[in-house]
Amino acid sequence: MADFAQLVTEQIPRLRRYARALVGAQRADDLVQDCLERAWSRRRLWDGQGELRAWLFTILHNLYVNDVRRQASSPALESLPEEEPPALAPSRHEAALDLRDLQRALDHLSPEQREVLLLVGLEQLDYAETATVLNVPLGTVMSRLARAREALRRVLREPPRARLRRVK
């Protein structure tokens, strides 16, 4: 049991990073917490032979999908405006703008494309692991990834004003 706890603990930063990319910083910790709770309560289902990272990402992804479905079936709530981040130092300003543009470009992708891109590009899962996590065929992973990369290129090549109009 101590081995399982240690192995799961090692995966928390990766889970948190993926969750932040999926749902944003405010809801990411809750999603990771739910994932860890589910994994711990069902630890007997992990056989110890498979890839724990893929198993945890599958749990996290399924929780995310369930939440999206639940939100789609419930009435929309108007959210409070997020606080603006504190002013950035001039040397970091350009990097912050690039990150903002990348986040907006990711928001422009369909959820399916964004999930594949984040799992392969950010979390460095191979295509087979990604297919397992998302419960889709390998070819679907490859086509979604190709479409996501092309969409990102297209959105990031647009002039900033056109990008802002399109993403909003």
Convert the pLDDT of each residue in 15-71 to its tens digit: 999 999 888 888 999 999 999 999 999 888 887 777 889 999 999 999 999 988 888
Tell whether the model's pLDDT for residue 153 goes beyond 50.
yes
Environment class of 121 (CB within 10 Å of its CB; exposed 0-12, middle 13-18, buried 19+): middle
CA atoms within 13 A on the CB side of 157: 6
What is residue 163's three-state secondary structure? helix
- What is the CATH number assigned to the segment(s) 2-73? 1.10.1740
Give the HSE-up count for residue 134: Cα atoms under 13 Å, Cβ half-sphere: 26
Residue 76: how many CB atoms within 10 A of its CB?
A: 7
Beta-carbon contacts of 166 under 8 Å, excluding residues fewer than 6 positions away, are 108, 155, 158
Backbone torsion region of residue 50, taken as left when φ is above 0, otherwise alpha when ψ lies between -120 and 50, otherwise beta: beta
Residue type present at position 147: R
Of 51 and 81, more confident: 51
**One CATH from 3.30.70.100, 3.30.428.10, 1.10.10.60, 1.10.10.10 for 91-167:** 1.10.10.10
What's the predicted TM-score (pTM) here?
0.59
Q: Which range, 57-66, 84-93, 98-107, has the best average confidence (pLDDT)? A: 57-66
* Three-class SS of 63-113: HHHHHHHHHHHCCCCCCCCCCCCCCCCHHHHHHHHHHHHHHHHHHHCCHHH
Domain boundaries along the sequence of the chain: 2-73, 91-167
Amino acid residing at 114? R
